[in-house]
Amino acid sequence: MPRLVMKFGGTSVANMDRIRNVARHVARERKAGFDVAVVVSAMSGKTNELVGLCQDAAKLYDPREYDAVVSSGEQVTAGLLAAVLQGNGLPARSWQGWQVPIVTSNAHGSARILDIDGSALLESFAEGEIAVIAGFQGVDPATRRVTTLGRGGSDTSAVAIAAAIKADRCDIYTDVDGVYTTDPRIVPKARRLNRIAFEEMLEMASLGAKVLQVRSVELAMTHKVKTFVRSSFDDPEFPQPGTLMCDEEDIVEQQVVTGIAFSKDEAQITLKQVADHPGVAAAIFMPLAEANINVDMIIQVASEDSVTTDMTFTVPGAEFERTKEILLKAQPQIGFASLHGASDVVKVSAIGVGMRSHAGVAARAFKALAEKGINIRAITTSEIKFSVLIEAAYTELAVRTLHSLYGLDKG
């Protein structure tokens, strides 16, 4: 029989009514002739509640015990869904990550999947069972302790399991009915995409789109897992097709720009009059790397005398204060005159594999933004995207301007 992995996020399993609705989606696919593995998240809000309990238990809690606590949310959902399926006359059993097993690294709280042995799941299929798997979790083989994969880890669990059992496809069910050209709350004319290339989805996920976790897209692209983004809020009897994430060559008509993403979790740092000599960039960025602070959009402007330079870059907004503290502490070693920062900034990005074969795509955006009076603070580009850093107050105007500029408003 063909194999299918279905993943349901927290809002899709928020209460018993929603779990019963999920069971109807699963029953539909089983009736269609699929062997089904279902990957579930914790019920909406449950993970935050469990994290709060860990923080209340101890300020410096053991990350291994943190994983033992927060992974329980997915286990509850898996058991409940399996029970509902059984009550509907469908053979099902719940699985925890270690039972599959999903083997991970020992980085508790942010573990990476190393291997999945899908043989036990295939045996379960042979017995006619639906496998309901607790997402977001795995096991460290050395210690046999439960590990978790970080926020959004259930997406990664689902795609990895699909690759391991060679599933025909992986359906990621969320509270939206697919991937849109941009956030419909910002641009009402935003359209659902029928298909999106893996590379485009990877860029969109990393640049602010919240539909899929970045690591899940990486896995899907690496293992060529046919992945759909769909809505669990559709009528189970009349589901919508959603958006297919696939190889670029599987998209017949590719637009130059596929989507506009934006990220509000940005902060800008500028170091003035940095001593311009070999090794200064390393002196700035190595301490940040050692503190696990991701740096983006680096711009260096040399002075006329070539003795000093100004260095501007962005970091996650949550790391703004820590970044300033680290740099000020290292000021004697780096050698800069002053540090300036801003947290009221937003990164707006245009993504599309069509940029590879079209010139002047970014230049058109710069002109359009200038005509709207939007000042660009920083720019980064790659083969299939460009990003601009602007004042947060202009976010909606910039997104709407670019969305219209590239014809994404049109059906």
For residues 326-340, average pLDDT = 92
Evaluate whether 146 touches 71 at the Cβ level (below 8 Å). Answer: yes
Q: Taking the chain, what is the end-to-end CA distance rounded to the nearest angstrom?
A: 37
Q: Tell me which of 91-95, 235-239, 391-395, 398-402 is least confident.
A: 235-239
Tens of pLDDT, residue by residue over 162-201, are 999 999 999 999 988 999 999 998 999 999 999 999 999 9
Residue 357 sits in a domain of what CATH number?
3.30.2130.10
Q: What's the confidence (pLDDT) of residue 175?
A: 86
Kindly state whether residue 374 falls inside one of the protein's structural domains: yes
Judging by beta carbons within 10 Å of its beta carbon (0-12, 13-18, 19+), is residue 66 exposed, middle or buried? Answer: buried
Q: What's the confidence (pLDDT) of residue 300?
A: 85
Query: Which percentage of the chain shows pLDDT scores above 90?
Result: 77
Q: What's the confidence (pLDDT) of residue 325?
A: 95
- Same domain? 291 vs 218: no
List the binding residues: 7-10, 47, 74, 174-175, 180, 185, 210-211
Q: Provide the 10 A C-beta neighbour count for residue 38.
A: 31
Q: What's the confidence (pLDDT) of residue 265?
A: 87
pTM score, whole prediction: 0.85
Q: How many domains in the chain?
A: 2
- Same domain? 224 vs 306: no
List the binding residues for substrate: 47, 74
Q: State the Cα–Cα distance between residues 55 and 61, nearest whole angstrom.
A: 7
User: Given the structure tokens 């260096």, which residue do they identify?
Assistant: 300
Q: How far apart, in Å, are the Cα atoms of 122 and each of 1, 2, 40, 119? A: 11, 12, 19, 5
Tens of pLDDT, residue by residue over 58-79, are 888 899 999 999 999 999 999 9
Q: Tell me which of 51-60, 141-150, 391-400 is least confident.
A: 51-60
List the binding residues for ATP: 7-10, 174-175, 180, 185, 210-211
Q: What's the confidence (pLDDT) of residue 243?
A: 95
Phi, psi at residue 379, to the nearest 5°? -140, 140
Read off the tokens for 76: 């509850």
For residues 315-325, average pLDDT = 93
Read off the tokens for 2: 């063909």
Kindly state whether residue 411 falls inside one of the protein's structural domains: no
- Same domain? 228 vs 294: no
Fill in the DSSP letter of residue 287: H
Q: Provide the 10 A C-beta neighbour count for residue 194.
A: 13
The residues, ordered by sequence, that sit 6+ positions from 67 with a Cβ below 8 Å of its Cβ are: 108, 109, 137, 145, 146, 147, 148
Instruction: Give the confidence band of 209 by pLDDT, cuts at 50, 70, 90.
Output: confident
- Same domain? 29 vs 112: yes
Residue 182's domain comprises 3-249
Kindly state whether residue 21 falls inside one of the protein's structural domains: yes
